[in-house]
A = this chain, B = another copy of it.
Amino acid sequence: MENFIFQNPVKLLMGRGMIAQLSKEIAADKRIMITFGGGSVKKNGVYDQVREALKNHYTVEFWGIEPNPSIETLRKAIALGKEQQVDYLLAVGGGSVIDGTKLIAAGLLYEGDAWDLVLARRPVTNTVPLSTVLTLPATGSEMNNGAVISRHETKEKYPFYANFPLFSILDPEVTFTLPPYQVACGLSDTFVHIMEQYMTTPGQSRVMDRWAEGVLQTLVEIAPKIRENQHDYQLMADFMLSATMALNGFVAMGVSQDWATHMIGHEITALHGLTHGHTLAIVLPATLRILRKSKGEKLLQYGERVWGIISGTKEERIDEAIRRTEEFFRSLGLTTRLHEEEIGQDTIVEIERRFNERKANYGENGEVTGEVAREILESAL
């Protein structure tokens, strides 16, 4: 086990009817800006529940934080927030709305252009307090201090770190009416978040391995049932809790991490707009195929504990573990090959060029250079 420091102060309020707690959790004198994505929260009742809970609070609304939130949009939110002198932010949405609102929270207390804060690559601790009502289980942003911010004009996309939300409300009922494609991408995102923190050097922590495998086992168990019935409260509660636990530091204590799959996936989203969780379903199996040598021992453990693969030679078991992983993503209704999304060699060349330009050495051992990224993407064609 490596030395580590862990702290996660986020208060989770999970369950039916928890949105009503907003009235108690936010002080009555706060000037709140509520941030939203598109209009789906008006159709599924979340908007009405939030309005009802905050009917005695001062609020201003900002609409239109898009998937892969852009600095162009967030600048407008920051301008509105400054104009209205807001001193509290409530993000109501999925990972993109929450990510974007983390930058707004920092931007409201910054004089210059908020894109500076992204480029500075330092965590920003001077922020307006922020809480969330989660509507789409996927990114884990509701219980971590990270975000990913895009800049449309340059097709750039960078990580950004600020403060944790004060609290996050998770009501599984809000997921019942999500588009099945978004649920599939959320399941994929959750699965790969775990894999980025697990599919590394074996033997670093037995208990962290078990917890990572426990989330994977849960996803494997619930995914086909969710495809059949997205209105099952218990299934959606386990999905929602798994997504939050997958990226809040709880499975990362004392173990190394990888994130090469994410780095490649981000480029596909930046270049083609493909939903984040979907890019991961395409890239992860290919990453495992190309890095099967360095990840072989952990792939054997993963195969046995998550998929019950116990017979065959080592190489056969590794093959089977990777095959089952890709099959899992396909069972979610997602494609797992680039050609199925009409993405071809030109994109691969461009990603290799970008990685080379920034001298990329991603992954646990820094082995994912531009050349290796190309091999991975060619394996995903």
The chain A residues found within 8 Å of chain B, CB to CB, are 1-18, 167, 172, 203, 205-208, 210-211, 213-215, 217-218, 221-222, 233-234, 237-238, 241-242, 245, 250, 253-254
Check if B5 sits within 8 Å of A205, measured CB to CB. no
In the complex, which of the residues B7, B207, B222 contacts A245, with contact meaning CB atoms closer than 8 Å? B207
Name the B residues within 8 Å of A13 (CB-CB).
5
Check if B16 sits within 8 Å of A5, measured CB to CB. no
Check if A4 sits within 8 Å of B8, measured CB to CB. no
Check if A254 sits within 8 Å of B15, measured CB to CB. yes
Query: A304 to chain B: closest CB distance in Å?
Result: 13
Q: How many copies does the complex hold?
A: 2
Check if A14 sits within 8 Å of B6, measured CB to CB. yes
Name the B residues within 8 Å of A238 (CB-CB).
1, 205-207
Sorted nearest first, the 4 A-B pairs with minimum C-beta distance are A3-B15, A210-B214, A7-B11, A1-B237
Given the known interface contacts A3-B16, A7-B9, the answer about A237 and B254 at a Cβ–Cβ threshold of 8 Å is: yes
Check if B211 sits within 8 Å of A1, measured CB to CB. no
Cα-based distance from A199 to B252 in the complex (angstroms): 26
Query: A248 to chain B: closest CB distance in Å?
Result: 10
Of the listed residues A7, A14, A15, A207, the one surrounded by the most CB atoms of chain B closer than 10 A to its CB is: A207
Cα-based distance from A13 to B4 in the complex (angstroms): 6
Cα-based distance from A221 to B6 in the complex (angstroms): 25
In the complex, which of the residues B9, B215, B233 contacts A210, with contact meaning CB atoms closer than 8 Å? B215
Query: A190 to chain B: closest CB distance in Å?
Result: 10
Name the B residues within 8 Å of A8 (CB-CB).
8
| Beyond known contacts A5-B14, A15-B254: 18 more, CB 8 A cutoff | A1-B15, A1-B237, A1-B238, A4-B12, A4-B14, A5-B12, A6-B12, A7-B10, A205-B241, A206-B222, A206-B238, A207-B214, A207-B215, A207-B218, A210-B211, A210-B217, A211-B214, A250-B250
Check if B210 sits within 8 Å of A254, measured CB to CB. no
Query: A148 to chain B: closest CB distance in Å?
Result: 25
Name the B residues within 8 Å of A208 (CB-CB).
241
Cα-based distance from A218 to B204 in the complex (angstroms): 13
Name the B residues within 8 Å of A12 (CB-CB).
4-7, 253
Check if B206 sits within 8 Å of A210, measured CB to CB. no
Name the B residues within 8 Å of A4 (CB-CB).
12, 14-15
Check if A253 sits within 8 Å of B241, measured CB to CB. yes
Of the listed residues A10, A205, A206, A254, the one surrounded by the most CB atoms of chain B closer than 10 A to its CB is: A206
